[in-house]
Structure 1
């Protein structure tokens, strides 16, 4: 509701117009309530009158007026699109119609409707054929430094490949390595035989009526002035990524010129949000450095690029090395990383989230130091850069405290070796963390908090090395740190835990920790194995819970395990008092039991003590909204909407809560699933499960093959309530965007052409 005061003003004016005798008789307030409701309607009419002028223009009108303005232009408004796309559709209708059927219009339409970069491939131009007398002559294309002359008429007119010089419809010229590597892509310059199959992702391309629509679903997000990590054993070699991971470097997309630009030309690869290949880097270094990435030296809090000829750069893994001596001073890296949407820490705009009043005053923090160790009064600490803050100390909070990152920055809090970052709260305290990346530490909350809120935070979930050769437990950073998961361990009493647009490792309570309400939205929560495949369960996560469980459990299997302990250990277990950690012989025996052959049985009996859970709560209500959970969960009560639970979910109180419009694993114990889809546990639902890979957490387009007993119209990609995909990237609405774009293409495509939709990344 608008905060313009009209409701109160009209209610008071109407009330004062009533005779005083009626006002005096209104002792119960019923008349005053009726007048207030009339005032609300009067305020609505007044707002409509005030907005009459603005609602006449598509740029300033309210959302409800968009279809009406579109109707005036006979625009075929697509209902499944969001208001941004609908507004652009109506605003550009005249321009679209004037240029209907052109490649420029189709590319601009894809960008306006879907928000993604696209490139149109006219496949009939890439058909191999015998040239006839009406074909313009091509002849030999002159070469300059091994490449076709850029101003040659054949290249300008599209009769010869820009990089290979291959004539239209002719034999492939393989002398240019970069051009040859572009075969079967959006930048293909070679001719192909006709393919009569139905057009799909990778087949049915080359035919006269086929029009390829290459769409890049990944975005390229910038990171400025980060702290590179030097590789152990290789002095002078660094990773661009401050976490020490090998990641592909991406290219920022060019500003779309659109069909209204008279100088429109089709985008080149170095103008699109793609991962940089070695061939592209060698072919177009001046277009990539420093626009897409650079290595800089910091002076006055600003980095200046060093000469690229002094560097060796491998953009496929995001590493660089100085060819000479490493320069003196502070080295910084600027680069772009690829991801499917603004989730986690990435310098994203905090306006993506509901507005939150942060405490004042505000204290600026920069340069890798200055984080607080104690907050006694209401205060916000704003980190103003993207550098690495090594080994931050524990924090004590007794007020309303916030630690946030400034917009367009992504500070990294990095511990070496793996440690526990403890934040202790006093009764009545509130804590907000926003915009930062925490690596190689468990975040342990102790004490008592009214509320804890994490917004656009990444608590590094780690990276499993199961796919490495040979397989390892965890991948390693360039400086030799195991990429072990960071866990959010709740030892405190928390009234409300709110997690918004975050990427998290396991979240669980330990000892007497509890949270009344846990609300997680638009986030990814992942647990990875913390023990080798086929080996015993991991070391005890909560030894106190295991001791208490064995002491009080009536399960016959648990009793048998206790009976197998020595008499002295059984006596110590009988005397154990929760929540103190067991010591001496009891602790030794419990650890040996967990790591022995009975470890898998213990993990099944006491998952909160040993299991690799993504979510582990013995009390409280967990509310999941548009969240992707990779790993098993064990909760007291669960309510989930438009989520993906890819492993078995167990709920203690299965009589309460609701799981709706979600995907969950077969064998889960849930209450009243409503319009949900079922898949086997831990199948390949995602393009990648490895954090740091660009398509991490994104549902694969072939996910429907894993459905258990699917109905005729069931699809994981359209499982959400509005027909979009469930999970952390629901707001991207990829399925709806493609559907809406297909409908708009029916209106503006050349006659007789059929689109072939291709995810280019």
Structure 2
């Protein structure tokens, strides 16, 4: 077969090729040089052809293609520039329609979005001589006064699915208005009035910033006595609202419904779904009754299996379980707002497995989100052991015993399910050895410790990596190990009560026993942990993209990072990047603090070394040199003490919630100070969720709305979560 580089030579008649061979192939050498240039020209022509299409064009060509169709460049946050340019013509064909504006908001921000034309919700007085017919998209409740007997309509009042008539409001809609409600997740944040929503030129964009993270085959957790007839969906045994698992079957030409958005399941919507399903299926024979309703069942937002048997939706009862009330016989009461369910007297099962989705801002801590970039491939280590309930090795202790029997080689232990693991765990690392304990992709195993998770290493260089674990307890480091926590949760307070409060507010998550002269090194990334107690002799503490929280005891604050609970002795040299520290810090040296939110004062022993940049530092902090930090920068040139105090008070970071079990945990409120929300070095927010680049998402949406919103209309961005 002729080589591609000799295509020209192959075109010659055979007689000339034979003679060329006899002469030493000079013609072949000449044509080879010509063929090389021909291939370059051919490749350049092919590249020019590829550059005609947005799907194949090189990156440097995309701005030119975008300019041809009038596409304004956006910050690359949720999707690539190629995707944005490719969608331009599709947006233009449907320009100005509500489904298109809704899809635009969703694509540009990556958030759940629903567009509402507020002019359709304005009430009017009907003239009997000239009655105004209703459009199919306008519900009958939008004419006249409020239908107070319609509970579902009242529950939707003031939200994205409002169907009630409103009077005209000519005020300008403020950015980030919140829905006032009863017990829904939205109302747990400080509500803002619905200023300027309802007007003839107003279009509202309801935005859900939280994501829904689905969990499958999770063991439900039984409630504490005396409520053991009740269970929690959350493996932590805390009240967690069930989130909608967005359905993939949405028609892109239609507006989103409740089942398509990553929002908390509305209790009244679930109640109506269950009762409607019961009325429809109870007359049918048992074998013909479907196992799915609108919200519940396989492939829906949540599902339950009692002692291995799927629960049909007609057995469910939507109920407020704040007091753990029992349902009638044969029914299972479910509180989607608290993530609880209870059984009737005498019907308590031995085991319950659940599928559900929880809400959170980002993929941080133990969770089912994509961690493939951080996982160790099973075939890349000298020794590998999988662990799963019902398999040959079904506990961490058994896997560690096998590891020790094999001589403690460089190894990997992978947990392949989302089961419950516990007991006492001890890892003795050999000199220069390494061990990785990780959860498989999409799994979230829980490790419930009886004592501490003890890690010991006699010499420096031994390394332990934990990835994707949800740990109820503490890690104890002895000797000189190197510990890496990646996408892990060390539950602040070690455990949570039935109400979601920390159980042991006086306990730490990472400790070093008072034995010998330990010099551990700790790296924490994309994790959530409680207080860290490391001595100043530790080699280094590095925290990136994480949250560290400590709780006061009896009104006395406790530090998040220090050597002792009292905070009188400093911790080691520390590097903090893109993190939120929810308590005070006392360290020997702050080598670097970049884009960090400190809620309490920071004290550094050595102020001549290190740097703090693009961070918030409370008054009373003693740190090395600062660069673009708040409130220092906002106070530049302010001489009036009263004005300076007002600025300090305004710049204090505010959060949706500081309770770990809350979906909005450590999330900056949208009405937090602009200097904090855009204070990162790239214009993103400070703190642990900087990677979300939420200011850039909002700016991208406003840029696109200037182009696609019909002339004369005013957009209101309404943040629901």
TM range (shorter): 0.7 to 0.9
Cα deviations by residue, 1:472-522 (Å, 9 ceiling, x for unpaired): xx9623799925455112458556422110011112214xx7432322111
Contact 2:581/2:597 (CA < 8 Å) preserved in 1? yes
Q: Which ranges of structure 2 fall in alignment gaps of 5 or more residues?
A: 1-39, 178-193, 275-292, 316-330, 632-647
In structure 2, distance between residues paired with 1:319 and 1:406:
27
> Does 1:364 find its partner at 2:386?
yes
1:641 corresponds to which of 582, 594, 598: 594
Contact 1:688 1:695 in 2 (8 A): yes
Query: Where in structure 1 are there 5+ consecutive unaligned residues?
Result: 1-43, 139-153, 464-473, 539-602, 705-713
Distance 1:127 1:617, change over 3 A: same
SS at match of 1:382: strand
Alignment of 1:35-50 (within 5 A): none
Paired residue secondary structure (1:667): coil
Alpha-carbon distance in 2 for matches of 1:354, 1:198: 49
CA distance 1:489–1:209, change in 2 (3 Å): same
> Per the alignment, do residues 341 and 481 of structure 1 end up closer, same or farther by CA in structure 2, a change over 3 Å counting?
closer
1:50 Cα offset (Å): 9.2
Cα distance in 2 for residues equivalent to 1:83 and 1:216: 15
Question: Could you tell me which residue of structure 2 aligns to residue 699 of structure 1?
Answer: 668
CA drift of 1:745 comes to 0.6
Q: Is the 8 A contact 2:577 2:593 kept in 1?
A: yes
> Could you tell me whether the CA contact under 8 Å between 1:63 and 1:83 is conserved in 2?
no
Show the counterpart of 2:266. 277
Q: Distance in 2 between matches of 1:504 and 1:48?
A: 54
Of 478-487 and 520-529, more deviation after overlay is shown by 478-487
2:682 counterpart of 1:751: no
Corresponding residue to 1:73 among 65, 69, 75: 69
Q: Cα deviations across residues 635-671 of structure 1 (Å, max 9, x unaligned)?
A: 1221111111111001111111111111121111111
Partners of 1:751 and 1:322 in 2: CA distance: 56
**Are the counterparts in 1 of residues 78 and 109 from structure 2 also a CA contact under 8 Å?**
no
Query: SS of the residue aligned with 2:259?
Result: helix
Q: Partners of 2:501 and 2:694 in 1: how far apart?
A: 38
Match 1:176 to one of 144, 150, 156: 150
Contact kept, 8 Å, 2:229 with 2:348, in 1: the verdict is no
Specify whether residues 172 and 435 from structure 1 end up closer, same or farther in structure 2 by C-alpha distance, changes over 3 A only: same
Partner of 1:94: 89
- State the match for 1:518 in structure 2: 541
Provide closer, same or farther for how the CA distance between residues 646 and 49 of structure 1 changes in structure 2, counting only shifts above 3 A: farther
Query: Does 2:667 correspond to 1:674?
Result: no
Residue equivalent to 2:489:
458
Q: Does 1:528 align with 2:560?
A: no
* Contact in 2 for aligned 1:85/1:113 (Cα 8 Å): no
CA contact (8 A) 1:716 1:725 kept: yes
- Choose from 115, 123, 127 the match for 1:120: 115
CA contact (8 A) 1:641 1:662 kept: yes
What's the CA shift for 1:379? 1.0
* Residues 1:607 and 1:520: Cα distance change in structure 2 (over 3 Å): closer
Question: Which residue matches 2:167?
Answer: 193
1:498 paired with 2:523, answer yes
Distance 1:57 1:366, change over 3 A: farther
Distance 1:405 1:617, change over 3 A: farther
Looking at structure 2, the residues matched to 481 and 607 of structure 1 have their Cα atoms a distance apart, in angstroms, of: 20
Separation in structure 2 between the aligned mates of residue 125 and residue 267 of structure 1, nearest angstrom: 17
TM-score of the superposed pair, with normalisation by structure 1: 0.72
**Alpha-carbon distance in structure 1 between the residues aligned to 2:715 and 2:101:** 11
Query: 1:57 deviation in Å?
Result: 4.2
Q: Distance in 1 between matches of 2:436 and 2:42?
A: 40
String of CA shifts for 1:217-236, please: whole Å, max 9, x gaps: 01110111122121221233
State how many pairs are aligned.
592
CA distance in structure 2 between the aligned counterparts of 1:62 and 1:323, rounded to whole angstroms: 64
Distance of 2:211 and 2:295 partners within structure 1: 17
The answer as to 2:321 corresponding to 1:296 is no
Aligned-partner Cα distance in 1 for 2:502–2:582 = 23
SS in 2 for 1:703: coil
Equivalent position SS for 1:333 = strand
8 Å CA contact 1:527, 1:612 repeated in 2 = no
Residue in structure 2 matched with residue 624 of structure 1 by the alignment = 576
User: Deviations 1:271-295 (Å, cap 9, x if unpaired)?
Assistant: 3211123212202242111211121
Cα pair distance change 1:74/1:191, threshold 3 Å: same
Deviation at 1:617, TM superposition (A): 4.8
Structure 2 Cα separation of the partners of residues 209 and 664 of structure 1: 43
**What do you get for the CA RMSD once the two structures are aligned?**
3.2
The match for 2:439 among 405, 416, 428 is 405
Matched-pair contact (CA < 8 Å) for 2:372–2:441: no
Could you list the per-position Cα deviations for residues 402-460 of structure 1 after superposition, in whole angstroms to 9, with x for gaps in the alignment?
A: 000001110011135xx322111243321110001001x221111222x3211100010
**Cα distance, 1:46–1:644 mapped onto 2, change above 3 Å:** farther
State TM-score, norm by structure 2. 0.76
Secondary structure of residue in 2 paired with 1:393: strand
Change (3 A) 1:609 1:76: closer
Shift of 1:334: 1.4
SS of 2:626's equivalent? Answer: coil
Q: Deviations over 1:662-707 (max 9, x none)?
A: 1121111111211111256995621111101011011112222xxx
Q: For 1:179, what is the secondary structure of its paired residue? A: helix
Residue equivalent to 2:370:
349
Deviates more, 1:127-136 or 1:383-392: 127-136
- 414, 431, 448: which one pairs with 2:480? 448
Partner deviation per Cα, 1:143-166 (whole Å, 9 max, x = no partner): xxxxxxxxxxx7xx0232xxxx41
Query: For each residue in 1:41-61, what CA deviation from the matched residue of structure 2 results, as whole angstroms up to 9, or x when unmatched?
Result: xxx999999976766543455
Q: Distance in 1 between matches of 2:137 and 2:44?
A: 54
Deviation at 1:625, TM superposition (A): 1.3
Distance 1:49 1:365 in 2: 54
Hey, what's the Cα distance between the residues in 1 that align with 2:685 and 2:73? Answer: 22
